[in-house]
Structure 1
Amino acid sequence: MNHINRRSVLLAGLGVAGAGALAACSSGSGGSTSTPSLVGPDDAVVAAAEKKRGTTGRTRQVTLTAARAMLDLGGGVMADSWAFGGRTPGRELRLSVGDTLAAELSNQLPDRTTTSVHWHGIALRADMDGVPPATQAAVRAGRNFTYRFVTDAPGTYFFHPHVGVQLDRGLHAPLIVEDPREPLRYDDEWVVVLDDWVDGVTGTPDEVYAELKQGMGGMGMDGMDGMDGMDMSGMSNMTMSSASSGASATPSGSGGMSTKFTLMGARSKLLGGDAGDVKYPYHLVNGRVPADPDVYTGKPGRRVRLRIINAGGDTAYRVALGGHRLTVTHTDGYPVQHEQADALLVGMGERYDVLVTLADGVFPLVALAEGKDAGGMALVRTGSGGAPMPTVRPEELNGMIMTASRLKAADDVRLPTRKADRVHRIELTGGMGKYDWGINGKRFDMGDPTANPVLVRQGERVRLDFVNRTAMWHPMHLHGHTYQLGTDGPRKDTTIVLPKKTVSVHFDADNPGRWMLHCHNAYHGEAGMMALVAYQA
């Protein structure tokens, strides 16, 4: 197999091959030694669920051309990458609740490169979810595929490939589903996409992954195989040059110790220790570097809704707008009881909506790369004044920092109290030593996509217990559903699970099909921290 096609198959194979381990360790009727009968895309239960989605009768038709592009990231920084329509982020898609999206993917990527589009956070038909080969065949170079589905829930979403580590290229864009009966009152919107960037600058995501999967021993650090339980704080100001250079470790301000791509010693109290694996040369806000930032221009006193999306591959961001407080209104598309904050912690795949009333002047919107001593920046300009330095760190970054665990679901979206019909224990395992990220002690291989999945049945209330056995945090994302944190926490599809902690989430099995459950760190997921959640026929 060529490299890209192998990774395409691996992606879904990872999720399904290890799912049997999950089913065997779960309560309820999930475990089975024989292949269960699973709901397929043409089953009557899928058609019945589809009929329940209210539609406006309107169809929005778009073409998404995935192709190689030379991207201008600002400040003279050019990146030879892949993108939708020659730009990153790609052009925003905006629809109304009940509209049908007909999006034709045209794969114009280099020869033999397969791809797909996953509609992150959308509860859509499973066969439109964009996960080869679990829900479709990967789209080959030179071929097209049309995704067609109803957008039946308002919110802030985005889309990206679900093949290999293509997420860490420029292939992503916002998807906004508007509520025609929007209860919030504001004057304007600003969509803010955060991204960590390596592609076409210092290397490619495939090169990053090739280095990471060697583990520490493969990088000439044989004595560090058991490092995952160690306190790495003493290494936080050390940098190791690329193994090929032969240079020894020397002090530096990089915020970690690394080979060419691999970062170690990135520390964050908010994330419980190790903050990330990858050393990125740039962190972007709306596709721009801090030295040449994106600018939102408004007027003092106007109330603006910020829709903040973390499209990064390996970085959580602490986000603050200098001189302002934030009113948190939504997370992952769903409303929460409003809370005030100085800053937000946003993991990969998470989205937050906030309201701000703009002051008079020029203010930095800073996305601090948590634990990595770097960050991105954009500007809000409502009056005269010079732009702050690209390295500015507003005091709000050290104020009250909002995390999902502090939020409560709004009354109208809170799940009704109900005992779980089925409980699955999802143990997150592995580490940097061998780069063996997995679930229940196993990295997944390219097995049968339907072999022994995590089973649920239509109509059940399901509880997932994410038990993090590792020394690193993981943003766990469930496709096709939103779950609730605890009994009254926010409704989400992606949540941060801190090291050595357990997070329990609940969801109603109301969208029959086959769905991925995985860490949204692009490299952890590709290494094997995935499973397939499937409805039993």
Structure 2
Amino acid sequence: MPVPSHPTRRALLFGAVGSVALLGAGTRGPLRTGTAPRPVIPVADTAVPLDAAPVTVDLGSRTVRTWAYGDRAPGPEIRVTAGGTVSARLRNGLPQETTVHWHGVRIDPAMDGAPGLSQVPVASGDTFDYRFTAPDPGTFFYHSHVGTQLDRGMYGVLVVEDPAEPLGYDAEWTVVLDDWLDGTGTDPDTELGTIRDTPRPARTLRSRLLGGTAGHVDYPHYLINGRTPQAPEEFTDSPGRRIRLRLVNAGADTAFRVGLGDHRLTVTHTDGFPVLPVTVDALLIGMGERYDVLVTLADGVFPLVAEAEGKDARAFAVVRTSGGDAPDPSVSVPELDRRLLTLADLVADPSVDPGDAPARAVDLVLGRGRNGTGWTLGTAAARDVTPLRVPVSVGERVRLSFTNATRMWHPVHLHGHTFQVRGEEGRGPRKDTVIVRPRERVTVDVLAENPGEWMLHCHNLYHSELGMMATLGYGDTPPAAPDSSMGGMSGTG
């Protein structure tokens, strides 16, 4: 069911409800950024072009060769009003096949971009037209779902506007977080081979907040809106203005702890759906998660910092409301060590709370393969079956419990649905991606109201590639033709 949630910026929409606008990440309302402004392009009558190709992109402090949609990373930001139609034409100029997954959107299975499950991958030189209704307002994103392409520049933001937006604010900024290594002397495929053959990273990456090992890859760069800390994105507005930040973690192996110097953050949405507002100093964002927060700007120049959790590095941007020198990227930000948002803080807004209903329980285990190098998502009795298929019936409510039997955290993502997180003392938020720490058990309720074959997997790209994937299947929608990209060795969603 469509759910009330987000802001409408009607001045930037072209045509009636259902038209799509295209613009660059990081710019909405009266603000400047540290990069060249990207114009809004009306595409109400044509498809948004997503031209996947090898390109050179400017990260600010250096240029790199990578694969991306157009000549920038992130790719073009797409906006549509809830209930409207997203139309995008993928042109595959890559030397290998690809797809586009629309992360977090309750979508028709044929448009989901899951290779070998809901879609035959688009061959090099071919095109594919994605066209679907965006039913729910919220902050979403799109990315490649083939191999390690997500850990290049193959991603962008999808914002679905609420035509009856209940929030009040003056402007909004899109903030995309990423970990980057492509074109720096290595590439994601090389890293995948290293992780497969050597499970332990060269340097131990540990985080108390994540319960143990923080990740596999010690990235050379961490980015906000495609910019390194040495040449940061700069957001500019006036003191006293209320800003909505749409935070997206598009990384492959890194959780980010986000804070804005001398400001507090009021969390209003997670993964696109509204929650009862809660004010904190910082929040932890796993791969695939999105958070919307409100902040009232103070007078000055402030650091917007995303610590690469457990990796002794950070992404960095500048928020400016007056003159003065920008802070150094290494500046101390006390907010990062103050009140941190927890999953227990989040309660679904009553407008999106599905209430209590009987649910069939399915217990799943996040585990390691028998050889210690692969990853699994299965049952206690069939942990090494990859991919496991969880059969459900149309209209059934299923209670999935994820038990993490590994020493590493996992952001678990379900395609084509949202789920209701079940807290220890009641219902939590509506989400599509949830962090499960080592030795932790997280329970979610899923309403089977979108028939199809749907991926359920860890959104750490390297875990998904090495087998931590299952499927949720029901209804009469057949899987796509078999493809080598399934079988635990392709695509994260």
Do the structures match in fold with TM over 0.5?
A: yes
Deviations 1:312-365 (A, max 9, x none): 000000000001000000000000000000001000000000000000111010
Q: Secondary structure at the match of 1:308?
A: strand
CA contact (8 A) 1:215 1:432 kept: no
Structure 1 position 468 matched with structure 2 position 404: yes
Partner amino acid for 1:88?
A
Q: Which runs of 5+ in 1 are unaligned?
A: 1-48, 217-257
* Residue of structure 1 equivalent to 2:67: 82
Q: Secondary structure at the match of 2:177?
A: strand
Pick from 199, 206, 223 the counterpart of residue 284 of structure 1.
223
Say whether the 8 Å CA contact 1:345–1:402 is kept in structure 2: yes
Residues 263 and 325 of structure 1, relative CA distance in 2, 3 Å threshold: farther
- Contact 2:365/2:383, CA 8 A, preserved across alignment: no
8 A contact 2:147–2:465 mirrored in 1: yes
Instruction: Give the counterpart letter for 2:374 in structure 1.
Output: D
Equivalent position to 1:341, from 280, 284, 300: 280
Q: In the aligned structure 2, how far is the partner of 1:138 from the partner of 1:426? A: 28
1:209 counterpart residue number: 192
Name the structure, 1 or 2, with higher relative contact order (CA <8 Å, separation 6+).
1
Q: Structure 1 residues 479-488 or 340-349, which shifts more? A: 479-488
CA contact (8 A) 2:239 2:321 kept: yes
- With over 3 angstroms needed to count, the CA separation of the structure-2 counterparts of 1:433 and 1:190, relative to structure 1, is farther
Mapped to 1, the partners of 2:226 and 2:19 lie a distance apart of 31
Does 306-315 or 503-512 show the bigger shift?
Answer: 503-512
Which residue identity does 1:274 align to in structure 2? T
SS in structure 1 at match of 2:186: coil
Q: Which residue of 1 aligns with 2:271?
A: 332
Residues in 1 aligned to 2:202 and 2:162: alpha-carbon distance in whole angstroms: 42
Query: Which residue number in structure 1 is paired with residue 375 of structure 2?
Result: 437
Report the counterpart of residue 308 of structure 1 in structure 2: 247
Superimposed CA distance per residue, residues 82-139 of structure 1 (whole angstroms, 9 cap, x where no aligned partner): 01011000111011011111111000112xx010000000001011000111011110
Greater helix proportion: 1
Matched, 1:500 2:439: yes
Q: Distance in 1 between matches of 2:328 and 2:18?
A: 49
Alpha-carbon distance between aligned partners in 2 of 1:484 and 1:57, rounded to the nearest angstrom:
28
CA distance in 1, matches of 2:402, 2:288: 17
Distance 2:307 2:473 in 1: 37
Match of 1:149 in 2: 132
- Counterpart secondary structure, 1:453: strand
For 1:408 and 1:202, the matched residues in 2 are separated by 44
1:480 & 1:467 partners in 2: Cα distance? Answer: 22
Query: Separation in 1 of the partners of 2:251 and 2:451?
Result: 29
| Equivalent in the alignment of 2:28 | none
Q: Paired residue for 1:529?
A: 468
Quote the offset at 1:299 in angstroms: 0.3
Counterpart among 348, 356, 381 of residue 320 in structure 2: 381
Distance change in 2, residues 1:126/1:492 (3 Å): same
Aligned counterparts of 1:521 and 1:264: Cα–Cα separation in 2: 18
Corresponding position: 1:64 with 2:11: no
Name which of structure 1's ranges 508-517 and 400-409 shifts more when overlaid on structure 2.
400-409
More strand by share: 2
CA distance in 2, matches of 1:382, 1:146: 42
Q: Aligned-pair distance for 1:385?
A: 1.4
One-letter amino acid matched to 2:86: L
Structure 2 spans left out of the alignment, 5+ residues: 3-15, 21-43, 477-493
Q: Hey, what's the Cα distance between the residues in 2 that align with 1:443 and 1:349?
A: 25
Rounded to whole Å, the distance in 2 between the matches of 1:143 and 1:364 is 43
3-state DSSP of counterpart to 1:87: coil
Counterpart position of 2:98: 115
Deviation of the 1:263 alpha carbon:
4.6
Match of 2:87 in 1: 102
User: Which AA in structure 2 matches 1:202?
Assistant: G
Mean Cα displacement is larger for which, 284-293 or 431-440?
431-440
CA distance in 2 between counterparts of 1:191 and 1:492 reads 19
CA contact (8 A) 1:444 1:528 kept: no
RMSD value, Cα: 1.8
Q: Deviations over 1:351-397 (max 9, x none)?
A: 00000000011101000000110010001010011111112230000
Give 1:471's aligned amino acid. R
Q: Is the 8 A contact 1:214 1:434 kept in 2?
A: no
- Tell me the TM-score normalized by structure 1: 0.78
Specify the alignment match of 2:352 in structure 1.
413
Deviations along 1:118-165, whole A, 9 cap, x unmatched?
000000101100011101111011000011100010000000011011
- After the TM superposition, which residues 224-263 of structure 1 pair with which residues of structure 2 at under 5 Å, given as runs? 262-263=201-202
For 2:194 and 2:384, locate their aligned partners in 1 and report how far apart those are by CA, in whole Å: 17
Instruction: After TM superposition, give the deviation of residue 434 of structure 1 in Å.
Output: 2.7
In our comparison, the structure showing a higher alpha carbon Rg is 1
Q: Which residue of 1 aligns with 2:35?
A: none
Once the two structures are TM-superposed, the CA of residue 405 in structure 1 deviates from its matched residue by 3.0
Aligned residue for 2:428, secondary structure, equals coil
- Secondary structure, in 3 states, of the residue corresponding to 1:148? strand
**Is residue 329–residue 355 contact of structure 1 (8 Å, CA) maintained in 2?**
yes
Query: What TM-score do you get using the length of structure 2 for normalisation?
Result: 0.85
Tell me the equivalent position of 2:334: 395
CA distance in 2, matches of 1:58, 1:397: 39
Structure 1 letter corresponding to 2:454: W
For residues 512 and 326 of structure 1, the distance between their equivalents in structure 2, rounded to whole angstroms, comes to: 37
Letter in 1 for 2:392: V
Q: Say how many residue pairs are matched.
A: 432
Whether the aligned pair in 2 keeps the contact of 1:70 and 1:80 (CA below 8 Å) is: yes
Residue from 161, 171, 177 that aligns with 2:144: 161
TM-superposition CA deviations, 1:282-322 (whole Å, max 9, x none): 00000000011000010000000000000000000000000
Identical columns (%): 52
Q: 1:78–1:201: 8 Å Cα contact kept in structure 2?
A: no
